[in-house]
Amino acid sequence: MTPEDLRAAVAAGLVTEAQAASITALADSRSGRRAAMQAEDEPFEFFRGFSEIFISIGLVILLTGVSLMLTWFGGFGLLVAVPLITAAIAWWWAGYFTLRRRMTLPSMVLASAFGAGLMIFIVTLLGQSGLDERMVGVLAFALSAAGMLLWYRRFKLPFAAFLTGLLVLGMIYAITASTANLIALASGGNGWDRLFDLTESPAFATATLLFGIGAFLVGMWFDTRDPHRLGRHAATAFWCHLLAAPALVNTVAVTLLNSGGGTGIALLSLALFVITMLALVIDRRSFLTAAIAYIALVISWVAGDSGDFGTWIFVLIVLGSLITAIGTWWVQLRAFVMKALPDFPGKHRLPPYARPE
């Protein structure tokens, strides 16, 4: 039985995720290595075929048409309730496309429509209550996140965890962000390097860092329950790590980079090495992907940071070669790192690793 067969069996409800993981673990123990799936594989499914793209386009058009029809027939008196009605329709249709048909991309479209509809309805409703604009933002993000949690609980859609995390992050930003920094960032100014600096914007940057740590821990909780990455838990972990990586990497990297001079670059280089090791250990490439821009900065500094065309050509070649090499020999690098590390709590619950050849 191939990994695809097991995933299909889990999706069809023939076996549970725990049973599929046990079957894979038994196969691994009999063969002595991770032979049940390609070693390079980090399963991620956005859609299963063009039919899902076709249906998703249809759903977007249909939901737009329904919303406009409700506005047209209901008049301005129904205008406030239209987003909520649209969200309710998305919930209704998800019963078919998500629970019955188990379609990935249409389910993501419906989840996004539900979250957007709920968010617009709450903002519109609270905007008429006379509350402070910041408070309106905080409550809207918080209530929408609660709604997305209900969506995840009902439909078990991994992408819903990503949407929930985005809404929680929006709530955190609404609470902690400095208005001046946000205006500078929105206007294309230099607010970015201050916004994620723990010394320049401590409340905002600290909240972002804590969010990243929280998303990482949630991702690891899901990862350790599906180490062979066959089912929903691993897919949910993927989206959690996709949230955690930029929050952690940007906050740490910007703070170290702003410490100045060679010391800042040295500390940034050390942090990037630790991030690379973490990505290899947990077998998630998202952390390394989020660090690519900062790796380019370090290479540029080593090259002299002159900013001329030749320097940037050198940076692109070195950066591209480095990323390509790590991606190509990811399995061998991870096996080497995992074998070199001593046993630590939870090591056996991480994805199995192949022996370096």
Lowest-pLDDT choice from 158-162, 164-168, 289-293: 289-293
The full 3-state SS of the chain, as one line of letters, equals CCHHHHHHHHHCCCCCHHHHHHHHHHHHHHHCCCCCCCCCCCCCCCCCCHHHHHHHHHHHHHHHHHHHHHHHHHCCCCCCCHHHHHHHHHHHHHHHHHHHCCCHHHHHHHHHHHHHHHHHHHHHHHHCCCCCHHHHHHHHHHHHHHHHHHHHHHHCCHHHHHHHHHHHHHHHHHHHCCHHHHHHHHCCCCCHHHHCCCCCCHHHHHHHHHHHHHHHHHHHHHHCCCCCCCCHHHHHHHHHHHHHHHHHHHHHHHHHHCCCHHHHHHHHHHHHHHHHHHHHHHCCCHHHHHCHHHHHHHHHHHCCCCCCHHHHHHHHHHHHHHHHHHHHCHHHHHHHHHHHCCCCCCHHHCCCCCCCC
Sign of CA dihedral 293, 294, 299, 301: positive
How large is the average pLDDT for residues 7-26? Answer: 71
Lowest-pLDDT choice from 15-29, 43-57, 75-89, 226-240: 15-29
Choose from 10-14, 185-189, 331-335 the range with maximum mean pLDDT.
331-335
pLDDT at position 319, please? 87
pLDDT at position 53, please? 92
pLDDT digits (tens, 9 = 90+) for 318-330: 888 999 998 888 8
In this predicted structure, the answer to whether residue 33 has a pLDDT above a threshold of 50 is no
In this predicted structure, the answer to whether residue 49 has a pLDDT above a threshold of 50 is yes
How large is the average pLDDT for residues 206-218? Answer: 93
In this predicted structure, the answer to whether residue 112 has a pLDDT above a threshold of 90 is yes
Exposure on the CB side of residue 226, measured as CA atoms within 13 A: 22
pLDDT at position 41, please? 58
Q: Place 313 in a pLDDT band, splitting at 50, 70 and 90.
A: confident
Average confidence score pLDDT of the chain? 82
The maximal CA–CA distance of the chain, rounded, in angstroms, is 69
Choose from 72-76, 137-141, 178-182, 304-308 the range with maximum mean pLDDT.
137-141
Distance CA 171, CA 215 (A): 14
In this predicted structure, the answer to whether residue 31 has a pLDDT above a threshold of 50 is no
Exposure on the CB side of residue 349, measured as CA atoms within 13 A: 11
Neighbours of 273 (CB within 10 A): 10
pLDDT at position 192, please? 59
In this predicted structure, the answer to whether residue 180 has a pLDDT above a threshold of 90 is no
How large is the average pLDDT for residues 179-195? Answer: 57
Lowest-pLDDT choice from 29-43, 48-62, 258-272: 29-43
pLDDT at position 304, please? 65
In this predicted structure, the answer to whether residue 30 has a pLDDT above a threshold of 50 is no
In this predicted structure, the answer to whether residue 56 has a pLDDT above a threshold of 80 is yes
In this predicted structure, the answer to whether residue 29 has a pLDDT above a threshold of 70 is no
How large is the average pLDDT for residues 23-36? Answer: 52
Distance CA 341, CA 239 (A): 27
pLDDT at position 166, please? 94
pLDDT at position 167, please? 95
- State the pTM of this model: 0.81
- The residue among 66 and 297 whose pLDDT is bigger is 66
How large is the average pLDDT for residues 60-71? Answer: 91
Q: Place 141 in a pLDDT band, splitting at 50, 70 and 90.
A: very high
